[in-house]
A and B are shown apart, each in its own frame.
Chain A
Amino acid sequence: MRGEPVAVVGIGQTKHVSARHDVSIAGLVREAARRALDDAELDWADIDAVVIGKAPDFFEGVMMPELYLADALGAVGKPLLRVHTAGSVGGSTALVAANLVAARVHGIVLTLAFEKQSESNAMWGLSLPIPFQQPLLAGAGGFFAPHIRAYMRRTGAPDTIGSLVAYKDRRNALKNPCAHLHEKDITLEKVQSSPMLWDPIRYSETCPSSDGACAMVLTGEAGAARSPHPPAWVHGGAMRSEPTMFAGKDYVSPRAGRDCAADVYRQAGVTDPRREIDAVEMYVPFSWYEPMWLENLGFAAEGEGWKLTESGVTELDGDLPVNPSGGVLSANPIGASGMIRFAEAALQVRGRAGEHQVDGARRALGHAYGGGAQFFSMWLVGSERPVG
Chain B
Amino acid sequence: MMPREVAIVAFAQAPTVRRSDQLSEVELLMPVLHDVLGQVGLRAGEIGFTCSGSSDYLAGRAFSFTMALDGVGAWPPISESHVEMDGAWALYEAWVALLTGQADTALVYAYGKSSPGSVRDVLTRQLDPYYVAPLWPDSVSLAALQAQALIDAGHTDERELAGIAARSRTAAEANPSAQLVGSAPPDVLLAEEYVVQPLRRHDCPPVGDGAAAVVLAAGDTALDLCPRPAWIHGIDHRVEAHSLGVRDLTDSPSTRLAAEHAGLFEAPVDTAELHAPFTSQEVVLRRALGLDEEVAVNPSGGALAANPVMAAGLIRLGEAAAAVHRGESQRAVAHATSGPCLQQNLVAVLEAR
Contact = CB atoms under 8 A, between A and B. Distances in A.
A touching B, CB within 8 angstroms? yes
Interface of A: 1-3, 24-25, 56-58, 60-65, 67-71, 75-86, 92, 95-96, 99-100, 102-105, 125-126, 128, 130, 238-244, 246, 254-256, 259-260, 263, 371-372, 374-375
Q: What bracket does the count of chain B residues touching chain A fall in?
A: 35 or more
Contacts of B81: 83, 85, 92, 95-96, 239
Contact of B100 (A62, A75, A103): A103
Closest 5 CB pairs of A and B: A103-B99, A256-B77, A241-B80, A63-B125, A84-B84
B66 A374 contact: yes
Contacts of A70: 239-242, 343-344
Nearest to B102: A2
Among A84, A92, A240, chain B packs the most CB atoms within 10 A around the CB of A84
B343 A67 contact: yes
B237 interface: yes
A371 B127 CA distance: 27
A60 B130 CA distance: 12
10 contacts: A63-B57, A64-B84, A67-B339, A75-B239, A82-B85, A82-B89, A238-B79, A240-B80, A243-B75, A256-B77
Contacts of B253: 77
A77 B66 contact: no
B80 A244 contact: no
Contacts of B70: 243-244
Contact of A62 (B99, B126, B238): B126
Contact of A81 (B60, B83, B128, B133): B83
A86 B79 contact: no
Interface in B43-78: 50, 55-57, 60-63, 65-67, 69-70, 74-78
B56 A56 contact: yes
Interface string B82-99: 111100010011001101
B125 A67 contact: no
Contacts, number: 179
Interface of B: 1, 3, 50, 55-57, 60-63, 65-67, 69-70, 74-85, 89, 92-93, 96-97, 99-102, 122-123, 125-130, 133, 236-243, 253-254, 257, 338-340, 343-344
Among B78, B84, B253, B338, chain A packs the most CB atoms within 10 A around the CB of B84
Contacts of B127: 68
B130 A61 contact: no
Nearest to B50: A241
Among B56, B100, B242, chain A packs the most CB atoms within 10 A around the CB of B100
Contacts of B78: 240-242
Given A67-B339, A84-B65, A103-B96, A79 B236 contact: yes
B100 A71 contact: no
Given A1-B102, A84-B83, A238-B79, A61 B129 contact: yes
A203 B123 CA distance: 39
